[in-house]
Amino acid sequence: MTTRSQSTDIAVDGARLAGTMLTPGSTIPGVLFVHGWGGCQERDLGRAQQLAALGCICLTFDMRGHVRTEAMRQTVTRGQNLADVVAAYDHLRMQPHVDPDAILVIGASYGGYLAAILTALRPVKWLALRVPALYTDEAWDAPKRSLSREVLDDYRSRVLDPQDNRALRACSDFRGDVLIVESGHDPLVPPPTIVSYRNAFRHTHSMTYRIIDEADHALSSPACQRAYTSMLLAWASEMVFGARAGGAPGSAGATQATP
């Protein structure tokens, strides 16, 4: 990476020392992590550190209703959490060395659902979704905790058309690169939900699909955690370094992975 140097003075005890400030010569990609319902930024920090080592500026955060604001868990709505995601995105994009045209958003479960909707509101170049959930468009401003599990299970058991759902409509308009990761043993986000997402991405630059055969929804096994991290880092490296080299990332593909 090229650097830019600038002379500077350092004040000390009434004197000034000559110095040189070296900063990145160009902007670099930004990465936003969006955790799932009941999750927290702590779970994303390890992967964020590894992506930062690749030369990205990463941001993790806790949505309202989680960690310090857990008291809001019973009342927070999807609309409020989407506003949290938009605010976090805007905070990342305004950082001095972040390339505003090179933002990667990584979302899991509920966070994947919100990340998909974000693409209709803000520019996103790369989108990584692990077990992205789906929710009905109805009761948008109702407390998220009050949504019927029975209704959601039935809703997610059907393959939906993009016009049937706000998140899927956003996916159908997305033009960037996508990674979708499915868990092989996931009763919360079953295969029809993943199919709905895959079908919705009709105009992407590229789409990559992966499945971790033995994984549950939460990636409870350390081996499944490692498998997901490996998939995410390999894909993100291809996207980021491909963009820096001016080349085109790989085309769509589907792979099963057994940890």
pLDDT tens readout for residues 206-234? 999 999 999 999 999 999 999 999 999 99
Distance CA 127, CA 137 (A): 22
- Taking 3-state DSSP, the helix, strand and coil percentages for the chain, each rounded to the nearest 5, stand at 40, 25, 35
> By residue range, what is the domain housing residue 128?
29-257
CA-CA distances (angstroms) from residue 80 to 72, 113, 241? 11, 14, 34
Residue 15 lies in a domain: no
Whole-structure pTM value: 0.88
C-alpha gyration radius of the chain? 20
**Total domains present in the chain:** 1
Tokens at 88, concatenated = 């976090």
Per-residue pLDDT of 46-69, as tens digits, reads 999 999 988 899 999 999 999 888
Residue 117: inside a domain: yes
| Mean pLDDT on 145-155 | 96
Report yes or no on 6 lying in a domain: no
5 within some domain: no
Residue 17 located in a structural domain:
no
In a domain, 102, yes or no: yes
CA distance 178 to 202: 11
CATH of the domain at 148: 3.40.50.1820
In a domain? residue 8 = no
Judge whether 110 lies within some domain: yes
